[in-house]
Amino acid sequence: MTCEIRSVRAFEALDSRGRPTVGCVVRLASGQHGRAIVPSGASTGQYEAHELRDHDDRYDGYGTRRAVRSVNETLAHAVVGMDAEDQHEVDRAMEAADGTPELSNLGANAVLAVSLAVAVAGGAHGDGQLWRHLAGDAEALLPTPMVNIFSGGAHAGRTIDIQDVLVVPLGAESFAEAIEWADRVRRATAQLMDRRGHGVTLVADEGGLAANLTTNREGLEIVTDGIAAAGLTPGVDAALAVDVAANQLWDGDGYRLAVEDRTLDPSQWLDTLEEWCNAFPIISVEDPFTDDDWTSWGEATARIGRDRQLLGDDLFATNAQRLARGVAAGVANAVLVKVNQAGTVSRARDVLRLAQSHGYATVVSARSGDTEDTWLADLAVGWGAGQIKVGSTMRSERTAKWNRLLEIEALSSRRLRFAGADALLRPQLAPGRTMLS
Q: pLDDT at residue 94 above 60?
A: yes
* Structural domain count, the chain: 2
Range of the domain at 165: 141-423
| Domain final residue, candidates 128, 157, 178 | 128
| Domain final residue, candidates 128, 149, 177 | 128
Q: pLDDT at residue 347 above 80?
A: yes
Share of the chain above pLDDT 90, in %: 83
Q: Looking at the structure, tell me whether residues 367 and 250 fall in a common domain.
A: yes
Angle at 223 between CA 219 and CA 224, to 5 degrees: 110
Q: Looking at the structure, tell me whether residues 99 and 173 fall in a common domain.
A: no
Is 262 a domain residue? Answer: yes
- Average pLDDT estimate for 305-322: 95
Is 435 a domain residue? Answer: no
Handedness of CA 77, 80, 86, 87 (dihedral sign): positive
- The pLDDT of residue 26: 98
CATH at residue 404: 3.20.20.120
- What value does the mean pLDDT of the chain take? 92
The residue that leads in pLDDT, 107 or 214, is 107
124 C-beta neighbours (distance < 10 Å), count: 22
DSSP string, 9-25: EEEEEE-TTS-EEEEEE
Which residues, including other chains, have CB under 8 Å from residue 336's CB and lie 6 or more apart?
286, 311, 312, 313, 316, 318, 363, 365, 389
Is 429 a domain residue? Answer: no
Is 174 a domain residue? Answer: yes
* Start-to-end Cα distance in the chain: 59
Q: Looking at the structure, tell me whether residues 77 and 224 fall in a common domain.
A: no
| Domain final residue, candidates 97, 128, 159 | 128
CATH at residue 35: 3.30.390.10
396 C-beta neighbours (distance < 10 Å), count: 11
Cα separation, 365 vs 380, in Å, equals: 9
Enumerate the active-site residues.
206, 338
- Average pLDDT estimate for 339-362: 97
Is 436 a domain residue? Answer: no
Query: What's the predicted TM-score (pTM) here?
Result: 0.94
Q: pLDDT at residue 240 above 70?
A: yes
Q: pLDDT at residue 202 above 70?
A: no
- The pLDDT of residue 425: 62
- Average pLDDT estimate for 360-389: 96
| Weakest mean pLDDT among 197-206, 228-237, 302-311 | 197-206
45 C-beta neighbours (distance < 10 Å), count: 21
Share of the chain above pLDDT 70, in %: 93
- Average pLDDT estimate for 136-147: 94
Q: Looking at the structure, tell me whether residues 251 and 299 fall in a common domain.
A: yes
- The pLDDT of residue 201: 59
Integer angstrom CA distances of residue 214 from 155, 259, 260, 292:
17, 6, 7, 29
Is 134 a domain residue? Answer: no
DSSP string, 45-92: -TTSPPP----SSGGGGT--HHHHHHIIIIIHHHHTTSBTT-HHHHHH
Q: pLDDT at residue 434 above 90?
A: no
Closest among 259, 229, 260, 288 to 156, alpha carbons compared? 259
- The pLDDT of residue 435: 46
Is 135 a domain residue? Answer: no
- The pLDDT of residue 431: 33
Is 431 a domain residue? Answer: no
